[in-house]
Amino acid sequence: MAIFKGAGVAIVTPMHADESVNYAKLHELIEEQIAAGTDAVIICGTTGESACLTVEEHLKVIGECVRFVDHRIPVIAGTGSNCTQDAVLMSKEAEQMGADGLLLVTPYYNKATQKGLIEHYTRISEDVNIPMILYNVPSRTGCNLLPETIAYLAEHTEHVRAVKEASGNISQIAKVKALAGDAIDLYSGNDDQIVPILSLGGVGVISVLSNVAPRQTHEICQAWFDGDTARSARLQLEALDLIGSLFCEVNPIPVKTAMNLMGKEVGPLRLPMSEMEAKNVERLRKSMQDYGIL
């Protein structure tokens, strides 16, 4: 059974002007997402600026999210690291806090071999008792999690149950399902590929778009599940321009900018994430206006 089915929001981490975490705003954002039909919250992922949080902040943000959601929808905690020991530590802590699952990015910078990736994820699986979603995003990590490796982990570990695929390589993603079949649940990691991945047997998306258009992102998935594939495809295509603008600079710079333009007051980014270039802000603003969310 999938950890969740549909649209999971890769939620931002809101901050005060002094760059401390704004927990009251986090609660507000979560409540808005649940009210809009979002199917899961993914906390402390890339979009949540996890790389710029201290370990103490990281764990506190996860704990606050779990506590506030209070089992209304699943909470998946981002606990990946380029150090296996750190990933194990954070994963065990997240489990103890009550997270429903874990999102584990491939070890960045180290560029592990496929053998190293198998050992890394096997070690984590041995130390936790909740489902694990592998996260393949080679454009950011410099490391590609191959279909054969995913299939091996699905067969030989107890808790590897899904993959968030953000390679952008549809042929590679198709091969994951061909090799692993129902042993692995497939989530789109790119908002412009939700429908293509659903068509390959995917069960949903871990979405940046959902931060600014939660109901629409949910509906892309729900229409597909309801058998209205034409509507699902139309909704996907209608969102493409906005999705492009949300990724015209490195994530999460544009999405936090978009949320501030909407009056959500999610605060600044932490360096080395810088403020958005003026020309790109205008591009983003126009896309939001055309999509009807500004």
Residue 104 pLDDT: 98
Helix (H) or strand (E) holding 188: strand 185-188
Q: Is residue 167 part of a domain?
A: yes
| Lookup: tokens for 84 | 């296996």
pLDDT (tens place) for every residue of the chain, 294 residues total: 899 999 999 999 999 999 999 999 999 999 999 999 999 999 999 999 999 999 999 999 999 999 999 999 999 999 999 999 999 999 999 999 999 999 999 999 998 999 999 999 999 999 999 999 999 999 999 999 999 999 999 999 999 999 999 999 999 999 999 999 999 999 999 999 999 999 999 999 999 999 999 999 999 999 999 999 999 999 999 999 999 999 999 999 999 999 999 999 999 999 999 999 999 999 999 999 999 999
- Is 135 known to be catalytic? yes
| 32 CB-side CA count, 13 A | 16
Which one of the listed residues 5, 25, 121, 135 is annotated catalytic? Answer: 135
How many Cβ atoms sit within 10 Å of the Cβ of residue 209? 26
Note the maximum CA span of the chain. 49
Question: How many folded domains does the chain comprise?
Answer: 1
φ/ψ region of 188 (left if φ > 0, alpha if ψ in -120 to 50, else beta) reads beta
How far, CA to CA in Å, does 39 sit from each of 6, 72, 100, 204, 290? 6, 9, 13, 9, 26
Q: Is residue 235 part of a domain?
A: no
φ/ψ region of 142 (left if φ > 0, alpha if ψ in -120 to 50, else beta) reads left
φ/ψ region of 38 (left if φ > 0, alpha if ψ in -120 to 50, else beta) reads beta
78-96 b/e with 16+ CB inside 10 Å = b?
bbbbbebeebbbbbbbbbe
The number of angstroms, rounded, from the C-alpha of 65 to the middle of its chain's C-alpha atoms is 15
The closest of 234, 229, 278 to 253, measured between CA atoms, is: 278
Residue 87 pLDDT: 98
Which one of the listed residues 25, 121, 152, 164 is annotated catalytic? Answer: 164
- CA 103 – CA 241 distance, rounded (Å): 28
Q: Which residues contact 16 (CB under 8 A, 6 or more apart)?
A: 22, 267
- Is 164 known to be catalytic? yes
Q: Which CATH number goes with the domain that contains 56?
A: 3.20.20.70
Q: Is residue 213 part of a domain?
A: yes
Angle between helices 253-261 and 278-291 (to 10 degrees): 60
Q: Is residue 14 part of a domain?
A: yes
Residue 1 pLDDT: 81
Q: Is residue 279 part of a domain?
A: no
Q: Is residue 238 part of a domain?
A: no
Kindly calculate the radius of gyration of the chain based on its CA atoms and give it in whole angstroms: 18
Q: Is residue 272 part of a domain?
A: no
Residue 138 pLDDT: 96
Q: Is residue 278 part of a domain?
A: no
Cα-based angle 142, 145, 59 (whole degrees, multiple of 5): 75
Structural domain for 205, as ranges: 6-228
